[in-house]
Amino acid sequence: KDYLFPKDFWWGSASSATQMEGAANKDGKGKNIWDHWYEIEPNRFFKKIGPSETSQFYERYKEDIALMKELGHNSFRFSISWSRLIPTGEGEVNPKAVQFYNQVMDELWNHGIEPFVNLYHFDMPFEQQEKGGWESREVVKAYVKYAETCFDLFGDRVKKWFTHNEPIVPVENQYLYGHHYPALCNFQKCVQAGFHSILASAMAIRAYHKRNLGGKIGIILNLTPSYPRSQHPADVEAAKIADAFFNRSFLDPSVKGTFPSELVDILKKEGFMPHIEDGDITLIKENTVDLLGINYYQPRRVKAKENLFNPNAPFMPERYFDYHDMPGKKMNPYRGWEIYEKGIYDILMNVKENYGNIECFISENGMGVENETRFLNEEGMIEDDYRIEFYEEHLKWVHQAIQDGSNVKGFHVWTFIDNWSWLNAYKNRYGLVSVDLDKDCKRTVKKSGYWFKKLAVTGLI
């Protein structure tokens, strides 16, 4: 069976500044939390490879964009580094950064590739984190100013904007699960930071719409469909609560302007409501997204609470449900994530049925694999058939969703080129193009890169 995608489908890839640019101390860039954390605790990072050693996009963007063109991209998502543009997060703009991003945007357009620009991808400027990061209302203001600066500087060149990438990830990892600096475990702070990210997003949307720049603004969310272990009402209920915590907490306010009542009830009952000021709720209600980016990697398998919890331990959402280890599930062993292709269809149908079928696209999907040089062939190309299969199986479900009326407009892989990742550094590789860290980051197209090219050019699997 052939799967033909619409003619104007957005084919491309996604990236982020901290993971791809490198040049962390160059041309006036300020420090963000990753640069800082690496400085003080390099042991936390895989093989002590830090955010300064990435794939050199800052210097090599011309070469990379030419390669994107070669591999069929019609769109490319990257993020502006807040601390490159405004080194301490507020105040003076760095002219070298303006020049760099203008050049990248122009280069993309010159190659017929539309820039999709995200404003925040986990990279809080260090000084703003010192002020409390997303926990602080002052930082919300600084972020909105930064967003406005971007709209004013680049609004003529960019017609697709995003306020955040996966806003729940920095919030839960900085304030609850301890995987991002400052690695706290404090649910109250987590809720406050989450609320402020949503508020910041709504404020940036308002500022963008006011400017009438003729483009669209959205948000990129990692949606992890929550499946109950059984149809037993207790499991179904547990899955619903996990969904409210991890998906609807950001999806509902971003698209509908409201918060899920199940979640609000829990926060009230447990005494964790955030501080909300007059006008905040109306502001969120009135400034929702035009466009939704969906990152999909894995689902969440949930069952009713069976394990006892320690009531004296700090509060975690997991107090309300347990995770279910589904027997026989397909796994990506390198990342420890389940592979469940139909999840992408279920998300798209949920968006169609419950979120007004808002215009959306798959903004990340990908497979990270260790030691890919094992798969080098005689011509020096990595034969990553597993990745091709991974994408094809997901894309078949995206195709089905289109048949069933989803308003999905594109598919961006994670990622174009092997890059540095938050705590895994270069352990798991995701690129369509490989990077040889021992040979000055030499780029070589993988088999999946050529596969992608064919797909993007023909629209056909």
Binding stretches for ligand BGP (CB under 6 A): 16, 19, 165-166, 169, 222, 295, 335, 364, 368, 414, 421-422, 424, 428
Q: What is the 3-state secondary structure (H, E, C) of 108-175?
A: HHHCCCEEEEECCCCCCEHHHHHCCHHHCHHHHHHHHHHHHHHHHHHCCCCCEEEEEECCHHHHHHHH
Q: How far is CA 207 from CA 145, 159, 358, 394, in A?
A: 9, 14, 21, 36
364: annotated active-site residue: yes
CB of 32 to ligand BGP, least distance (A): 14
Residue 284 or residue 433: which is nearer to ligand BGP going by CB? 433
Neighbours of 435 (CB within 10 A): 20
Residue 168 or residue 302: which is nearer to ligand BGP going by CB? 168
273, amino acid identity? M
CB of 104 to ligand BGP, least distance (A): 18
Q: Any idea how long the chain is?
A: 461
CB of 419 to ligand BGP, least distance (A): 8
Strand partners, 222: 295
Residue 73 or residue 121: which is nearer to ligand BGP going by CB? 121
CB of 97 to ligand BGP, least distance (A): 20
| Secondary structure class of 442 (helix, strand, coil) | strand
Q: What is the 3-state secondary structure (H, E, C) of 374-420?
A: HHECCCCCECCHHHHHHHHHHHHHHHHHHHCCCCEEEEEECCCECCC
Question: Which residue out of 364, 370, 379, 393 is catalytically annotated?
Answer: 364
| Secondary structure class of 346 (helix, strand, coil) | helix
What does the angle CA 376 – CA 381 – CA 386 come to, to the nearest 5 degrees?
A: 70
Closest CA to 395 of 413, 407, 376, 368: 413
Closest residue (Cβ) to ligand BGP? 421
State the chain's maximal CA–CA distance in angstroms: 65
Helices 95-110 and 137-154 cross at an angle (nearest 10°) of 50
Residue 164 or residue 399: which is nearer to ligand BGP going by CB? 164
Residue 90 or residue 166: which is nearer to ligand BGP going by CB? 166
* Residue 217, phi then psi, degrees to nearest 5: -130, 135
CB of 335 to ligand BGP, least distance (A): 5
CB of 85 to ligand BGP, least distance (A): 19
What's the DSSP call for residue 428? S
Residue 117 or residue 207: which is nearer to ligand BGP going by CB? 117
Active site residues: 364
